[in-house]
């Protein structure tokens, strides 16, 4: 199998997996909370918040702007992957697919619902409520920054 094709297939499979997991668990959490499920301990609680803005409540009620921004980010990330397939590592593809899935998950909810569903509230610190897409985005960004820094030192 061609190396570029294998990498592209790997990227697509990872992206679809992360996106499906994000949308599935977000839907499951929403229905559970709607049916009366609640969970709380010292670390976090599950709650439901309609978020019309971006991270840390930036750009509240800027739905159209955030949709356009997400589409631009996804387009640039996909173009980057396609352009650099030959030199990109599998672990980079893994985390870029995670980042794309997180962005796409929030984009899907923003388009279909008009807002993003946030569920996780940290009880030990004052922090905005967040969702699974946000977790994917943050893990991916941190991992990609580490990968980039490690590449620069070699």
In 3D space, the residue among 117, 102, 148, 93 whose CA is nearest the CA of residue 26 turns out to be 117
In 3D space, the residue among 135, 126, 116, 132 whose CA is nearest the CA of residue 51 turns out to be 116
Residues contacting 90, CB < 8 A, separation 6+: 7, 10
Q: Give the separation between CA 18 and CA 93, rounded to whole angstroms.
A: 12
Which candidate in 22, 35, 61, 118 is catalytic? 118
Q: Give the separation between CA 136 and CA 132, rounded to whole angstroms.
A: 6
Query: Catalytic annotation on 35?
Result: no
Query: Catalytic annotation on 134?
Result: yes
By annotation, the residues acting in catalysis are: 118, 134
């Amino acid at each position: 199998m061609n190396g570029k094709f294998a990498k592209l297939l790997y990227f697509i499979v990872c992206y679809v997996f992360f996106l499906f997991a994000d949308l599935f668990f977000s839907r499951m959490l929403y229905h559970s909370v709607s049916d009366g499920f609640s969970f709380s301990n010292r670390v976090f609680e599950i709650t439901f918040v309609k978020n019309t803005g971006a991270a840390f409540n930036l750009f509240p009620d800027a739905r159209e702007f955030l949709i356009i921004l997400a589409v631009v980010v996804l387009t640039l990330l996909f173009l980057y992957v396609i352009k650099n397939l030959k030199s990109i590592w599998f672990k980079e593809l893994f985390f870029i697919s995670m980042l794309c899935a997180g962005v796409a998950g929030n984009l899907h909810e923003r388009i279909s619902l008009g807002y993003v569903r946030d569920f996780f509230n940290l009880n030990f610190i004052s922090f905005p409520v967040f969702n699974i897409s946000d977790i994917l985005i943050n893990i991916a960004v941190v991992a990609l920054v580490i990968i980039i820094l490690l590449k620069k030192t070699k």
